[in-house]
């Protein structure tokens, strides 16, 4: 089954003479359980495309179906609920809250959401995902005391808390040195082996290609047709 079916997605920024198409007629299907890598240079439209397929940006032309639902027909509240329940995001910048502990950072989105789940249960699940990413001994640490790789592990744990069916990763190793980046690649690989989570990863780093079941190249807002 396809989790994502996109047809002729186009997203422009600027008006009149200054209008630029960041995403230019992209069609794409992503199947349940696959790891799709979209590879392309800085500025080719990767983040813009990922925001659209993640339901974060609705200002696009074309059609998009997520989990069998037509995004254009979904009210904002329903799209945001779908996102909250089924999609996890991992970004290049880890977006952790500096004044909260590792454990609190992972728990925070679940506590702020309207989901009526008790704090004790959220804490239990947060501890479990932090153990999975190898941070069981850093629960009380502040992000400032962690290495880049450890911070990205916290961000990955946070994205996994609600057991997303689809994980969208934007340059997940972009801020990491080579060795640390390798550890994150290994972590994604282990997570996929365990959870079979569908993943779409966009990057300009060639080394991520060994994770992928399928790789598409993006150039100037367009996806190259598969051979
Ligand atoms: P990538 O993630 O591949 O580096 P982006 O999707 O961030 O590329 O950007 C693609 C193009 O769209 C770039 O030319 C960028 O400047 C432009 N762009 C992206 N977001 C915006 C925005 N919010 N406003 C104006 N231009 C934007
Ligand atoms: Mg980007």
pLDDT tens, position by position, 100-150: 999 999 999 888 776 667 889 999 999 999 999 999 999 999 999 999 999
Residue 200 contacts residue 2 (beta carbons within 8 Å): no
Minimal-distance CA residue to ligand 1 atom 16: 43
Protein residues within 5 Å, CB atom, of ion ligand 2: 46-47
Q: Whose CA is nearest to atom 20 of ligand 1?
A: 48
pLDDT for residue 118:
85
Ligand 1 neighbourhood includes 22 CB (under 6 angstroms): yes
Q: Is the CB of 221 under 6 A from ligand 1?
A: no
The answer, yes or no, to whether any atom of ligand 1 lies below 6 A from the CB of 23, is no
Burial class (CB in 10 A: 0-12, 13-18, 19+), 193: exposed
Which of 131-159 are b and which e, b meaning 16 or more Cβ less than 10 Å from the residue's Cβ?
Answer: ebbebeebbeebbeebeebbbbbbbbbbb
Taking only the tens place, the pLDDT of each residue in 66-114 is 999 999 999 999 999 999 999 999 999 989 999 999 999 999 988 877 6
How far is the centre of ligand 2, averaged over its atoms, from the C-alpha of 47 (Å)?
4
Pocket-testing residue among 20, 39, 43, ligand 1, by greatest number of atoms within 8 A of Cβ: 43
Q: Is 41 in the pocket of ligand 1 (CB under 6 A)?
A: no
pLDDT tens-digit map of 30-58: 999 999 999 999 999 999 999 999 999 99
For residue 211, pLDDT beyond 60:
yes
In this prediction, residues 203-207 reach a mean pLDDT of 92
Distance 124 CA to ligand 1 centre (A): 39
What the block records as the tokens of 185 is: 């690649």
Q: Say if ligand 1 is within 6 A of residue 47 CB.
A: yes
Residues 12 and 180: their CA atoms lie apart, in Å, by 35
Residue whose Cα lies nearest atom 27 of ligand 1: it is 13
């Amino acid at each position: 089954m396809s989790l994502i079916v996109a047809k002729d997605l186009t997203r422009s920024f600027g008006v009149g003479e200054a209008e630029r198409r960041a995403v230019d007629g992209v069609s794409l299907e992503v199947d349940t359980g696959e790891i799709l890598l979209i590879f392309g240079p800085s500025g080719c439209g990767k983040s813009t495309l990922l925001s659209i397929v993640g339901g974060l940006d609705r200002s696009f032309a074309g059609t998009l179906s997520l989990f069998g639902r037509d995004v254009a027909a979904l009210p904002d509240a329903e799209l945001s609920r779908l996102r909250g329940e089924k999609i996890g995001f991992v970004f290049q910048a880890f977006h952790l809250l500096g004044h909260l502990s590792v454990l609190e950072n992972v728990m925070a989105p679940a506590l702020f959401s309207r989901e009526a789940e008790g704090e004790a249960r959220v804490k239990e699940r947060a501890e479990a995902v932090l153990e999975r990413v190898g941070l069981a001994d850093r629960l009380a640490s502040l992000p400032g005391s962690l290495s880049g790789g450890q911070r990205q592990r916290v961000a990955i744990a946070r994205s996994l808390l609600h057991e997303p069916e689809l994980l969208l990763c934007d340059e997940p190793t972009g801020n990491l040195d080579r060795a640390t980046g390798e550890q994150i690649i290994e972590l994604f690989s282990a997570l996929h082996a365990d959870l079979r989570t569908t993943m779409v990863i966009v990057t300009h780093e060639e080394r991520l290609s060994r994770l992928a079941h399928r790789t598409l190249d993006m150039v100037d807002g367009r996806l190259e047709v598969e051979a």
